Chain A
Amino acid sequence: MDIATLGGQLLGQIPLGDIVLYLTPFNLFMFVGALIFTTLIAISRTETQVEAEFGSLNDNEVKVGLKEFKIRRFLAVVCGLATAGAMITGDVFNFTLLVALIGILNIGIVSAVKQIDVLNAAFQYGLIAMIASLPLFGGAAIILASTGTLSILEIAQLSFTTPMMFFASLLLILGIAGETGIAPFYATKAEMFRTPGSPFIIIIHLSSLLVIVRAIEILLIINKPF
């Protein structure tokens, strides 16, 4: 499928050696959106969860310590930048790499909490993310083997699709689903959101959302179903 049909008018290209970024309104919108959200996270403070105490009228505040706050803000900003990079990249290989980076950072954001059940969920999510790196990188490798290139611009100009390319994109979407923890693997990730420190937790949601939208664009370009 044509790039212009999916993402609107092709505004330009940024050639960096053999890595070529391409700009469409679709890409740019998500790129700028991810950057704006990252800036908001970088300047915001964390929430304080308030729990009612049992048997008394007092409240119990769950706060995030300064050191933990700093580490978590750093990881959340890097996660936002990785998401923005995955939006703008014109290369399947860079896309898989940034998705894997987002997976690691998602584990890192919740890894410093004190709640045991959240750590348990983070461990399960980490196992899934590690297992998902096989279909993720394997899919990218098979796309390379069946098309001879990893650049999305080059792949868009190919006139044929082979069953191997379809198989590779199946593996790729499986890997992305596991790495970002969407629907079939969501159970591993849901518990992670119970940790205090809200704006940094939301980047986990937002990154997986944007990455899925971009992944669908890439898979449509590779498979050309219409």
Chain B
Amino acid sequence: MIVPEVVPAITVSLFLPALYVGLLVGFIALLGISFQKKDLHALILTDIVGVGMLIIVAAVGTDLAEALILPGLVVQLAEIMAISEILMSREMRKTGKKVSFMPMPLKMNMEILKTAPNFLSLVLIVYGIFLTGFTGGAVAGVGILFYALSRKSRGLPFKLWEGVSGISGVAWCIWLAGFLILFVTPEIWLLGLLMSSFGILLKVASKMGLIGVLGREEIKRD
């Protein structure tokens, strides 16, 4: 028997209904896409197919399935970002107009946007470093994103942004090396753990910087 004895029968019996629900969600989304004529709506409806995929993977409910869910989610996110970039650049080429990376409805030139961001983002980043790991990275990333959004009206320092993306790459390598240490030489697990936890802190925190660099000419204006 594949399923261990400790798993209750009702949990095992839930697998097939969950599988059907996942396939049904995918089918409904495909129907929606087939009725749709606008490209943007088709793109948004395609995301529902991804939800169906997550339901099917989650229905398995083991730790290996959990290892499948996270990459599935990331792949889905990466694909929807890539395709929406293609859609935007196609529309920009069609109409000949440029669109800013983070559009704002009105030109805000307020005192608070010059003084507050430095302090608030510093608080968030320090708190994020104190938390460490994935959560800390997310908190620090919010701090950096907040800084970028509020400084946007005055133009972002492009050189600094490239540096942030460089840090992100190095941090990713540290994270990978930490994991490699855990697998290859388990005796020094503490070093591996610290390397991977601080690596992912820097990585997640600087993710927003990466999005910023991939963003367009708006940011290059120094």
Report if A119 contacts B (CB, 8 A): yes
Contact residue among A16, A93, A101, A122 (Cβ-Cβ distance under 8 Å from B86): A122
- For B86, list chain A residues within 8 Å (CB): 107, 111, 119, 122-123, 126
Once the chains are docked, how many angstroms separate the CA of A103 from the CA of B76?
11
Encode B86-122 as 1/0 by CB contact (under 8 A) with A: 1101100110000000000000000000000000000
Encode B38-71 as 1/0 by CB contact (under 8 A) with A: 0100110011011011001101101011011001
Q: B65 to A130, Cβ gap below 8 A?
A: no
Chain B: interface secondary structure? helix
Knowing A138-B22, A138-B57, A145-B15, say if A97 contacts B71 (CB, 8 Å): yes
Once the chains are docked, how many angstroms separate the CA of A129 from the CA of B72?
13
Report if B19 contacts A (CB, 8 A): yes
Report if B79 contacts A (CB, 8 A): yes
- For B47, list chain A residues within 8 Å (CB): 130
When C-beta atoms are compared, the residue in chain B nearest to A112 turns out to be B89
Knowing A107-B86, A111-B89, A147-B2, say if A130 contacts B60 (CB, 8 Å): no
Report if A141 contacts B (CB, 8 A): yes
Q: A142 to B68, Cβ gap below 8 A?
A: no
Report if A35 contacts B (CB, 8 A): no
Q: B62 to A137, Cβ gap below 8 A?
A: no
- For A122, list chain B residues within 8 Å (CB): 86
Knowing A131-B46, A150-B64, say if A100 contacts B90 (CB, 8 Å): no
Q: A134 to B82, Cβ gap below 8 A?
A: no
Report if A48 contacts B (CB, 8 A): no
When C-beta atoms are compared, the residue in chain B nearest to A107 turns out to be B82
Q: B50 to A134, Cβ gap below 8 A?
A: yes
- For B49, list chain A residues within 8 Å (CB): 130-131, 133-134
Q: A134 to B89, Cβ gap below 8 A?
A: no
For the complex, count residues of A whose C-beta is within 8 A of B: 36
Report if A3 contacts B (CB, 8 A): no
Knowing A144-B68, A148-B2, say if A120 contacts B46 (CB, 8 Å): no
Give the residues from 99 to 151 in chain A that come closer than 8 angstroms, CB to CB, to chain B. Answer: 100-101, 103-104, 107-108, 111, 114, 116, 119-120, 122-123, 126-127, 129-131, 133-134, 136-138, 140-142, 144-148, 150
Report if A65 contacts B (CB, 8 A): no
- For B75, list chain A residues within 8 Å (CB): 97, 100-101, 104, 133
Report if A17 contacts B (CB, 8 A): yes
Some 11 contacts from A to B, beta carbons below 8 A apart, are A107-B79, A111-B89, A119-B86, A122-B86, A123-B39, A137-B57, A137-B72, A138-B57, A142-B60, A144-B62, A145-B15
Interface residues of A (CB under 8 A from B): 16-17, 93, 97, 100-101, 103-104, 107-108, 111, 114, 116, 119-120, 122-123, 126-127, 129-131, 133-134, 136-138, 140-142, 144-148, 150
Known: A126-B79, A134-B56, A144-B68. 5 other contacts (CB 8 A): A111-B82, A127-B42, A130-B83, A131-B49, A134-B22
